[in-house]
């Protein structure tokens, strides 16, 4: 079994904590008239291995953008531009069906398939080990 598939199987078997993977849909207009708000559509679950994401089928992705769905149930008053953008992304995730408190990864880029560098394999194995056996209190 290839390394990444074996790693995914180990994480699945251990019940390691995973995160949501989604795709940002900027919205627009339906039938040219009805406005459709931006949303983040669910694509599945992934394990975060540092700066990489691993899908259950063993596909390796580079982390893109991340939003935590939090505070979407209350209105905000004046906010900084960055906070406003983050809040809008959290709202887009809620519209996509993600629950409050969920961490959602999107805009993740797939890495070229092929043989992994031994240093990258060690890095991924170390990160997976931390998910399988998290340090006490983590």
Where does residue 41 rank: exposed (0-12), middle (13-18), buried (19+ CB within 10 A)?
Answer: middle
- pTM (predicted TM-score): 0.86
Q: How far apart are CA 57 and CA 72, in angstroms?
A: 32
Where does residue 57 rank: exposed (0-12), middle (13-18), buried (19+ CB within 10 A)?
Answer: exposed
Q: What is the pLDDT of residues 20-57, one digit of tens each?
A: 999 999 988 777 777 889 999 999 999 999 999 999 99
Q: How far apart are CA 31 and CA 54, in angstroms?
A: 37
* pLDDT the model gives residue 75: 60
Q: How far apart are CA 39 and CA 94, in angstroms?
A: 8
Antiparallel, parallel or unpaired: β 34-36 and 60-62? unpaired
């Amino acid at each position: 079994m290839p390394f990444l598939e074996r790693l995914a199987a180990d994480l699945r078997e251990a019940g390691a904590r995973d995160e949501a993977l989604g795709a940002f849909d900027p919205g627009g207009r339906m039938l040219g008239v009805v406005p459709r708000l931006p949303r983040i559509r669910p694509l599945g679950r992934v394990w975060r291995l540092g700066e990489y994401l691993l899908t259950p089928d063993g596909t390796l992705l580079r982390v893109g953008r991340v939003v935590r769905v939090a505070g979407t149930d209350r209105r905000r008053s004046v906010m900084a531009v960055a906070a406003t953008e983050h809040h809008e992304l959290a709202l887009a995730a809620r519209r996509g069906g993600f629950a409050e408190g969920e961490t959602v990864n999107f805009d993740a880029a797939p890495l070229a398939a092929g043989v992994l560098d031994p240093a990258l394999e060690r890095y991924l194995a170390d990160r997976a080990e931390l998910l399988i056996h998290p340090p006490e209190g983590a």
